Structure 1
Amino acid sequence: MGRASAPYLLILPSILFAFWIIGYPIYDMANMSVHAVNRFGKTAAFNDFANYQRLFSHQLFIGCLIRTLVWTVFVVGGTVLLSVPIALILNEKFYGRTLARIIIMLPWAVSLTMTGIVWRWSLNGQFGMVNATLSEIGVLSAPVEWLATSTTAFPILIAIGILVSIPFTVTVILGGLASLQADVFEAAKIDGASGWQRFRYLTLPLIRPFLNIVLVLNFIYVFNSFPLIWVMTQGDPANSTDILVTWLYKLAFRYGELGIASALSIVMFLILLALTITYAALAMRNERSTV
């Protein structure tokens, strides 16, 4: 009995410490979300879930929620769709492959804040590099304020979000491709399987665990992605590029509505938890059905 319980006793301090690190902030945020809170973070009396009522009735909540889901789905989906063929190409042997891998990984070495600053300058309507280049080649006849209108700002943010998410995703998928046995693919090729058939029936199922990893992690990262949108637009114009996390920052630190911000934090946490558990359950069920 003692020998069987020894491993659990050895890791118990780490588990308790991790639980405290993660659990206490969640408890504190949940406590603030059901109490009246002043702008300095001091809680008062229980307010009968008034913070949640104000949150759900707020005119910006539904718009930010829908925009967050659109942002997350398009960025994560676009990242995976582009990263899989890039990883397949980089997994092949060709002259300059090492340099190509370095170039793909370079955006990962730059912080999102710096990336946002560079793109904000490039897309500036008066002296930006994008307008200057498009004007030089005759595409534009007049400067365009790319980040000043919602019709162009949000799609541009999604495109840049995909760009900065590709390096991590390609790295994980490359790791999955490197773990595959070449003998299986050589046997399939000898049996007459085409390149598409090898990809569909061998590569894709074998790297599915790695795709599950990048889907879940990218979903969490992108859902909570703050620096890129904040640096480039701060949710403007007229909150048209605000997602939940940028609106949360405004509620807490610009408007001093810490109670509503706490309620929004709990709602975001529950959304992420529910979607992650659902996806994990579906992925596990699919794996069991294929065994």
Structure 2
Amino acid sequence: MAHLSYDQTGVGRPAASRFNQPWLLIVPSLVLALFIISYPIFNIVYQSVHDVSRFGAIRGFNGLQNFYDVFSDPVFIGSVRRTLVWTACVVGGTVLLSVPVALVLNQDFYGRGVARTIVMLPWSVSLTMTAVVWRWAFNDDYGMVNVTLQRLGLINGAIHWLARPEIAFPVEIGIGILVSIPFTVTILLGGLSSVPADIYEAARIEGASAWQQFRKLTLPLLRPFVNMAILLNVIYVFNSFPIIWVMTQGGPDEGTHILVTYLYELGFRLGRPGQAAAVSLIMLVMLFVFTVIYLRLQPKQGGE
């Protein structure tokens, strides 16, 4: 005999239906989400194992030839290495700079609202337009950066910032950090606003210095929000396309390509949709592996 549970009206209903009801409510959205996600993935997998013309016509099955061609391309190997460097440097630099900025903006001072608005302002501008502005700023002849450095007497002649990959790529990393700070600061400010002020008052009474308060109180309490910022920024930065493509289009000499710009060039410039689909799957696997590692670390952090 099925066990009965009683609602507020006193009417009994089977316990099984009580537990199944939430699943029944979300089944339509789950089915729609699975369809939206699974169909593009199936299409990419299908193209990655077929010979595809530049116009998208399927010519025939070629197995893993697209993956073999991609892995044998030295530009792809360099793009993987630069993608890891790009993601690690941008995310790491963003978090390191965003923590002190968030701590300052969390303080109560005159003009805090204006300061927060200025910090958040780059977030309201299109990333493509931001990249265009910075490309003008680093122009060899009339760029703001060269003109300013020359007027300050720091350089004698124009520096070709975007003409050499060993200079252009660090410049793009710096811009990536700059445009990622507003979003990260927003997450950290949300975390800081949830920290009770009483614990800092107690710590000051006990004689804790500002550094001890930061290391023993702020960082541990802020850690879940830092983890969230790292996860979201890794996914966002790993797939970030506009900055590098607008500023250098992967050049010069293919020296600033990351995987997403390399994929775009394969699919739309070189007319190799099959290889582009293979690169898409490789990127998906890389992000999936990172997500699995992150989720496996979460219970340990929660236990601590």
Q: TM class, shorter-chain normalised?
A: over 0.9
Separation in structure 2 between the aligned mates of residue 10 and residue 283 of structure 1, nearest angstrom: 28
In structure 1, runs of 5+ residues without a counterpart are none
Separation in structure 1 between the aligned mates of residue 234 and residue 154 of structure 2, nearest angstrom: 35
Q: CA offset at residue 90 of structure 1?
A: 0.4
Separation in structure 1 between the aligned mates of residue 227 and residue 281 of structure 2, nearest angstrom: 25
What SS does the corresponding residue of 1:207 show, helix, strand or coil?
Answer: helix
1:105 maps to 2:120: yes
Q: CA offset at residue 45 of structure 1?
A: 2.5
1:199 maps to 2:214: yes
1:122 maps to 2:140: no
Q: CA offset at residue 286 of structure 1?
A: 2.4
Of 60, 64, 74, the residue aligned with 1:49 is 64
1:184 maps to 2:204: no
Q: CA offset at residue 239 of structure 1?
A: 0.8
Match of 2:103 in 1: 88
Of 163, 166, 176, the residue aligned with 1:161 is 176
Match of 1:249 in 2: 264
Give the structure with higher Rg (CA): 2
Deviation string, structure 1 residues 15-56 (Cα, Å, up to 9, x no partner): 111111112111110111111111122223221211111111
Moved over 6 A (4+): none
Of 229, 239, 242, the residue aligned with 1:214 is 229
1:21 maps to 2:30: no
Separation in structure 2 between the aligned mates of residue 196 and residue 261 of structure 1, nearest angstrom: 49
1:76 maps to 2:91: yes
Residue type of the partner of 1:159? G
1:259 maps to 2:271: no
More moved, 14-23 vs 265-274:
14-23
TM-score, L = length of structure 2: 0.93
Separation in structure 2 between the aligned mates of residue 162 and residue 265 of structure 1, nearest angstrom: 24
Residue type of the partner of 2:163? A
Match of 2:286 in 1: 271
Deviation string, structure 1 residues 125-182 (Cα, Å, up to 9, x no partner): 0111111111111111111111111121001000000000000000000000001111
Residue type of the partner of 1:52? F
More moved, 162-171 vs 22-31:
22-31
Residue type of the partner of 2:62? N
Number of positions where the alignment pairs a residue of Structure 1 with one of Structure 2: 289
In structure 2, runs of 5+ residues without a counterpart are 1-15
The CA RMSD over aligned residues, in Å, is 0.9
What SS does the corresponding residue of 2:74 show, helix, strand or coil?
Answer: coil
Residue type of the partner of 2:111? G
What SS does the corresponding residue of 2:183 show, helix, strand or coil?
Answer: helix
Residue type of the partner of 1:233? T
More moved, 39-48 vs 228-237:
39-48
What SS does the corresponding residue of 1:48 show, helix, strand or coil?
Answer: coil
Separation in structure 2 between the aligned mates of residue 77 and residue 68 of structure 1, nearest angstrom: 14
Separation in structure 2 between the aligned mates of residue 145 and residue 280 of structure 1, nearest angstrom: 43
Of 272, 285, 288, the residue aligned with 2:300 is 285
Residue type of the partner of 1:188? A
Q: CA offset at residue 281 of structure 1?
A: 1.2
TM-score, L = length of structure 1: 0.97
Aligned 8 A contact 1:212 1:283 in 2: no
Match of 2:11 in 1: none
Residue type of the partner of 1:149? R
1:223 maps to 2:234: no
What SS does the corresponding residue of 1:36 show, helix, strand or coil?
Answer: strand
Separation in structure 2 between the aligned mates of residue 195 and residue 98 of structure 1, nearest angstrom: 24
What SS does the corresponding residue of 1:250 show, helix, strand or coil?
Answer: helix
Residue type of the partner of 2:119? I
Residue type of the partner of 2:195? L
Aligned 8 A contact 1:235 1:242 in 2: yes
Separation in structure 2 between the aligned mates of residue 284 and residue 142 of structure 1, nearest angstrom: 55
Deviation string, structure 1 residues 223-277 (Cα, Å, up to 9, x no partner): 1100111111101101111100001000000001111100000000000110121
